């Protein structure tokens, strides 16, 4: 279990000031998983003198809940990501959508103290209208990233449509988490060069996957899914799951200990991207 040391506002301010000073001193902000250190819900934001937004390691913390566009620096180099750092023996668990979420998945990951990454849909009854789900996902150890607002296929859509999809979904998530990770995933992993560029201009790298759990295939068996993941395992692998997928809970429960037995750290997207160019840097 994670330590639940909730830091009070008076204790938090010096801590944040130290973080900012340290950042100024060494040019980069030390990676502190803030969402694990305290609860944003406990902070009186109206009285807060915290900076309006700040880069903390791999993500941006903001107390603005709307009009987030422009807060992230452009994501460079422009590239769709399908694998993390091959030099690190880590693999990322990524779980998509948010429809029909099997809550046992969240309980399992929380109980096993796994860091992982969620790509939540903004609309369609998910993040925007189910804040409790966003909160539960974050509290289960996830970096919560956006999976567009409508979950429509983005290829062929125009600039305004794609940009709106990114920020509407991000705002729904950030309303709860107060965080923005510089990653997005589109429906079906489908994108064209135009939307790849537009997402990058907005600060998001397109993140697809190295291996799929196959949990969108009706009739698939747990044995097949587990063997397929283990057969395609490699350092930096990004594994795709779905909250409402076939056998997703059962596969996670079996495959995580197997992956760990092979000497890998089972973790989040940010952890497998460490040491690559695909990480957030504080804007000048």
Contacting residues toward Zn ion, per CB under 5 A: 96-97
Q: Hunting for tokens 């750092």 — which residue is that?
A: 85
Cis peptide before 154 (omega within 30 of 0): no
- For the bound state, the minimum distance from the C-beta of residue 125 to Zn ion, rounded and expressed in Å, comes to 14
Nearer of residues 21 and 190 to Zn ion, judged by Cβ: 190
Nearer of residues 58 and 96 to Zn ion, judged by Cβ: 96
- For the bound state, the minimum distance from the C-beta of residue 206 to Zn ion, rounded and expressed in Å, comes to 13
Distance CA 46, CA 170 (A): 22
The H or E element containing residue 41 is none
Nearer of residues 62 and 225 to Zn ion, judged by Cβ: 225
Nearer of residues 62 and 210 to Zn ion, judged by Cβ: 210
- For the bound state, the minimum distance from the C-beta of residue 93 to Zn ion, rounded and expressed in Å, comes to 15
- For the bound state, the minimum distance from the C-beta of residue 94 to Zn ion, rounded and expressed in Å, comes to 11
Distance CA 181, CA 59 (A): 5
**Cβ(194)–Cβ(78) under 8 Å?**
no
Nearer of residues 58 and 97 to Zn ion, judged by Cβ: 97
Q: What's the token pair of residue 82?
A: 């399908």
Adjacent-strand bridge partners of 267: 92
Nearer of residues 150 and 260 to Zn ion, judged by Cβ: 150
What lies within 8 Å, CB to CB, of 262 at 6+ separation is 230, 233
- For the bound state, the minimum distance from the C-beta of residue 118 to Zn ion, rounded and expressed in Å, comes to 11
Phi, psi dihedral angles at 101 (to 5 degrees): -65, 130
First to last CA, the chain: 37
- For the bound state, the minimum distance from the C-beta of residue 242 to Zn ion, rounded and expressed in Å, comes to 7
């Amino acid at each position: 279990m994670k330590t639940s040391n909730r830091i009070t506002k008076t204790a938090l301010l010096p801590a944040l000031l130290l973080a900012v000073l340290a950042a100024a001193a060494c040019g980069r902000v030390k990676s502190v998983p803030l969402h694990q250190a305290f609860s944003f819900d406990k902070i009186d934001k109206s009285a807060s003198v915290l900076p309006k937004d700040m880069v903390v390691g791999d993500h941006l913390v903001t107390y603005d809940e709307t009009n987030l566009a422009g807060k992230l620096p452009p994501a460079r180099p422009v590239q769709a990501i399908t694998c993390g750092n091959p030099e690190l023996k880590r693999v990322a668990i990524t779980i998509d959508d948010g429809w029909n979420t099997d809550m046992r998945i969240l309980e399992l990951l929380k109980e096993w103290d796994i860091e992982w990454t969620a790509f939540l849909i903004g609309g369609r009854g998910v993040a925007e209208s189910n804040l409790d789900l966003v909160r539960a996902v974050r509290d289960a150890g996830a970096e919560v990233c956006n999976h567009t607002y409508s979950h429509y296929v983005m290829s062929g859509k125009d600039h305004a449509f794609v940009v709106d999809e990114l920020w509407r979904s991000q705002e729904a998530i950030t309303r709860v988490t107060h965080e923005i990770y510089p990653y997005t995933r589109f429906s079906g992993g489908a994108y064209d060069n135009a939307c790849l560029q537009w997402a990058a201009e907005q600060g998001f790298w397109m993140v697809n996957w190295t291996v799929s759990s196959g949990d969108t295939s009706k009739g698939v068996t747990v044995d097949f899914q587990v063997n397929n993941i283990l057969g395609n395992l490699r350092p930096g692998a990004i594994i795709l799951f779905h909250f409402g997928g076939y056998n997703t809970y059962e596969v996670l429960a079996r495959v995580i200990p197997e992956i760990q037995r092979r000497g890998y750290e089972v973790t989040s997207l940010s952890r497998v991207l460490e040491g690559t160019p695909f990480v957030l840097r504080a804007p000048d």
